[in-house]
Amino acid sequence: MDSNILFTPLNLRGCSLKNRIVMAPLTRNRAIHGTDVPHQLNAEYYAQRASDAGLIISEATQISPTGKGYAWTPGIYSQEQVTGWKLVTDAVHVKGGKIYLQLWHVGRISHPTLQPGGIAPVAPSAIAPNKQRTYIENGTFAEIGMPRALKLEEIPGIIEDYRKAAANAIKAGFDGVEIHAANGYLIQQFLSDTSNHRTDNYGGSVTNRLRFALEVTEAVIAEVGSDRTGIRLSPVSPANDALDSSPASVYFPLLRELNKLNLAYVHVVEGATGGPRESNGFDFQALRKEFNGIWMVNNGYNLQMAIEAVSSGYADLVAFGKLFIANPDLAERFKQNATFNELDTTTLYGGDAKGYTDYPTLGATTK
């Protein structure tokens, strides 16, 4: 295996990446309270990692007020938010980095206190997730209750929200967008037979359950181009209680349809999001063969696994999450086979610069 292969450049549909190492989307809950606007601290955080990562994927960013599921997460639906994100993209580009924005609607993974007017969050069906909690404005985790099933006539409006959010992302200076269709949020709720019990054109058969994901993707592509559109999937993750009873029957047909759309990439979470990599018999190698474009992998990868994935031709890019939180110079540490900073788990969600922009680089630690 070629240990240098992770540090070779990649042409991502016209976006030149310096290496194959990607900073995964990471929710950190540090937008401005009340407006969900990114600010200078966020710009510093992303800029610290921009000269190191081949590509940064932003933290999940709500496409509308009703798409919000956690306190202090950023949005991309207001002019203030677009201006705030421009601080971030400018800072990243000054450092020679590339950055995509992750488009997010949480669906039922929310709480009335986070919704406009205190109403119930929306979902494909009125099915509450089992024993799930979310992070609310008072800084505590609250139990998720019963969502409201979307009316058929409301669905085009949400698809339009994705389109507008994608347009806003490009206005804010992002190099592209990633559609968040993973981790049990709205798009995966439509895909899964455990969370989607609809009897109209968006539920029932696999073809119908794929419809929302594909219509969102097509709307985003129509707005920003297929060359600037990626998508994230988590076929076997139990995150947020939206695991399908037969993932292969859903994700293989989905990939065949996505393959026709000429996307910039597909980003796949292998195993349980942030947890065990066990696939329960799901064949990720076979799934990869359904897609002719750039394949990005994620979840529990170390340096050796990443080298093997890219060297073998299975993956083109490898996304790292927690390692990038604690190590803004992760690629350089990989290159030097250096030790890693220890992750401070008490500062992951909310707060200030502590545990956010104060992790030292190698140069700083050796002075």
Q: What is the CATH number of the domain that holds 73?
A: 3.20.20.70
Which residue from 167, 266, 157 is spatially nearest to 222, judged by alpha carbons?
167
Residues composing the chain: 367
User: Do 144 and 110 meet the contact criterion of CB atoms below 8 Å apart?
Assistant: yes
pLDDT value for 2 = 66
DSSP string, 224-281: H-GGGEEEEE-TT--GGG---SSHHHHHHHHHHHHHTTT-SEEEEE-SSTTS----TT
Task: Give the pTM.
Answer: 0.97
Tell me if residue 334 falls in helix, strand or coil. helix
pLDDT averaged per 10 residues in sequence order, the chain, 367 residues: 86 97 98 98 98 97 98 98 98 98 98 97 98 93 96 98 98 98 98 98 98 99 98 97 97 98 98 91 97 98 97 98 98 96 97 98 68
User: Do 59 and 27 meet the contact criterion of CB atoms below 8 Å apart?
Assistant: yes
Residues 6+ apart with CB under 8 A from 302: none
Find the catalytic residue in 185, 265, 356, 359: 185
pLDDT value for 366 = 42
Domain region containing 30 = 5-365
User: Do 35 and 69 meet the contact criterion of CB atoms below 8 Å apart?
Assistant: no
Catalytic residue status for 314: no
**Pairing, β 141-143 against β 148-149:** unpaired
Q: How far is CA 218 from CA 76, 170, 262, in A?
A: 19, 16, 11
Tell me if residue 326 falls in helix, strand or coil. helix
pLDDT value for 367 = 36
User: Do 74 and 59 meet the contact criterion of CB atoms below 8 Å apart?
Assistant: yes
- Cα–Cα distance for residue pair 23/59, rounded to 1 Å: 10
User: Do 279 and 310 meet the contact criterion of CB atoms below 8 Å apart?
Assistant: no
* Domain count of the fold of the chain: 1
